[in-house]
Amino acid sequence: MIGIEESRGNIYDDLEIPNANEMRIKSQLSAKIGEIIKARHLTQSQASEILGLSQPKLSEMLRGKFRGISEAKMMECLSHLGRDVQIVVKPAPRSRKEGRIEVVFA
């Protein structure tokens, strides 16, 4: 019988992948970039020109292979697609010793 294990909320952390939080954030940013490209009915070639990425690099990113693309580059891509990107730094609640990094889409 296969056991079922409850997720910790981050599949990359569950799989013990290095830099799990960074990978989760990149996956969220990549998914949003893909949604916008699809909603604008852009081909990957058209989108790659707008984003300043090669078409193969864009294709890899949209398929979850984004280790070679920084979070900053992904945020820049969102900007090129007409999205405002804000980074907000605030105190963590006293109930936590460490802060956390999360992506929130409005």
**Structural domain boundaries, residue 74:** 12-80
> What's the pLDDT band for 20 if we cut at 50, 70, 90?
confident
Write the pLDDT tens digit of every residue in 22-74: 888 999 999 999 999 999 999 999 999 999 999 999 999 999 998 789 999 99
pTM for the full model? 0.83
> What's the pLDDT band for 97 if we cut at 50, 70, 90?
confident
**Start-to-end C-alpha separation, the chain:** 42
The tokens describing 3, both together, are 């056991």
Say if 72 falls within a structural domain. yes
Say if 56 falls within a structural domain. yes
Say if 57 falls within a structural domain. yes
Say if 86 falls within a structural domain. no
Write the pLDDT tens digit of every residue in 6-16: 766 766 666 66
